[in-house]
């Protein structure tokens, strides 16, 4: 249940924020907020604008990776902790948010711009945070198992 809640929150925040950008900020325009700019761009690549220009192979590989992740979750389940479920939920919610954009828009709406890093969105934040949380939990469980076995 925790995974579904985390995924739903990530997806809703992502889709609402992208809708607001599409409606209120014309493509290419930006609003400066100190070191942060809110800049409406379309990203045909992956997270943070990587691997641009290869739309169909990228789309297919994204879908395949997403479904492999779901299979791993279903078969393995991973550590049962809530924090692990939150991490996986953030990854799933962020991935679904960007997949929805690719299907409906042909590209992903990005808008968070710190100038020193490629422009990104809340789905990207959710995915990165989810990966960090998940890796931390898996590493902790591994260390715990090794300590108990020693």
- Which of 14, 101, 113, 124 is flagged as catalytic? 124
Question: How far, in Å, are 89, 106, 145 from residue 4 at the CA level?
Answer: 6, 26, 27
Active site annotation includes 14: no
By the 10 Å C-beta count (0-12 exposed, 13-18 middle, 19+ buried), 58 is classed as middle
Active site residue 110: yes
Catalytic residue among 14, 101, 110, 113: 110
In contact, 90 and 5? CB cutoff 8 Å: no
Whole-angstrom Cα distance, residue 78 to residue 88?
A: 10
Which residues have C-beta within 8 Å of that of residue 41, sequence separation ≥ 6? 27, 28, 109, 110, 111, 113, 119
Catalytic residues: 110, 124
């Amino acid at each position: 249940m925790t995974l579904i809640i985390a995924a739903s929150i990530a997806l809703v925040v992502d889709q609402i924020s992208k809708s607001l950008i599409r409606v209120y900020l014309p493509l290419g325009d930006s609003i400066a907020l100190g070191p942060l700019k809110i800049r409406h761009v379309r990203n045909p690549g992956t997270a943070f604008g990587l691997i641009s220009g290869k739309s169909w192979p990228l789309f297919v590989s994204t879908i395949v990776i997403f479904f492999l992740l779901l299979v791993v979750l279903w078969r393995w389940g991973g550590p049962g902790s809530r924090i692990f479920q939150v991490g996986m939920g953030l990854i799933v919610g962020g991935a679904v948010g960007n997949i929805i954009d690719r299907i409906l828009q042909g590209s992903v709406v990005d808008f968070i711009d710190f100038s020193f890093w490629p422009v990104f969105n809340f789905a990207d934040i959710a995915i990165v945070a989810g990966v960090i949380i998940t890796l931390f939990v898996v590493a902790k469980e591994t260390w715990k198992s090794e300590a108990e076995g020693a």
